[in-house]
Amino acid sequence: MEKNDKEAATNNETRKHIANVGKFINIIIKHLLKRSVEHDASKLESPELELFTEWTPKLAGCTYGSEEYKKFLEELKPALKHHYDNNRHHPEHNPNGLHAMTLVDLIELFCDWKAATLRTKDGNMSKSIDINVKRFNIDPQLESIFRMTDLLFESEFEHDKP
């Protein structure tokens, strides 16, 4: 086989690899698009709707992770149980927590946490990560991935500002 034939064969295999990677990325995208449409839909119906209607404004007025915040969550327990049972992007969904999650679940979870920082007093993703590292026993590697992803998001927000 001459050099050009070898290069052509290698390029052919590389193109197949690129196409396969694209197929796998598209599977993730398909699932993420579905999640983006269906995210937290259970909050829009009973039994969650009534309690979230009452407590969402109160939660928005307090600092995430504070004693006040934790007290409000106690009041929301019946809605939260239903919510966690019906939304697999929450570590509470499964007794094995983060260990039972897929990458798609983790991406939705991260986006949920990031969006939640926009809804609460003093919302701060870095502080949320600090709290959730302890809350969910997140290992240093995943913590680092979350922090690096937050930097990516922040650079995108800066870029998109008028």
Mean pLDDT of the residues in the chain: 93
pLDDT of residue 10: 94
pLDDT of residue 127: 96
Gap between the Cα atoms of 61 and 50, Å rounded? 18
Q: Which residue type does 45 have?
A: E
The 10 Å Cβ neighbour count of residue 35 is 19
CA-CA-CA-CA torsion for 152, 31, 60, 80, nearest 10 degrees?
A: -140
Q: What percent of the chain has pLDDT over 70?
A: 96
Number of residues that make up the chain: 162
Closest among 35, 17, 8 to 89, alpha carbons compared: 35
Q: Where along the chain do its domains lie? A: 1-38, 41-160
Evaluate whether 123 touches 116 at the Cβ level (below 8 Å): yes
- Write down the pTM of the prediction: 0.89
Gap between the Cα atoms of 129 and 138, Å rounded? 9
Gap between the Cα atoms of 20 and 44, Å rounded? 38
Least confident of 27-31, 66-70, 98-102, 109-113: 66-70
Gap between the Cα atoms of 47 and 44, Å rounded? 9
In this predicted structure, the answer to whether residue 145 has a pLDDT above a threshold of 90 is yes
Evaluate whether 136 touches 142 at the Cβ level (below 8 Å): no
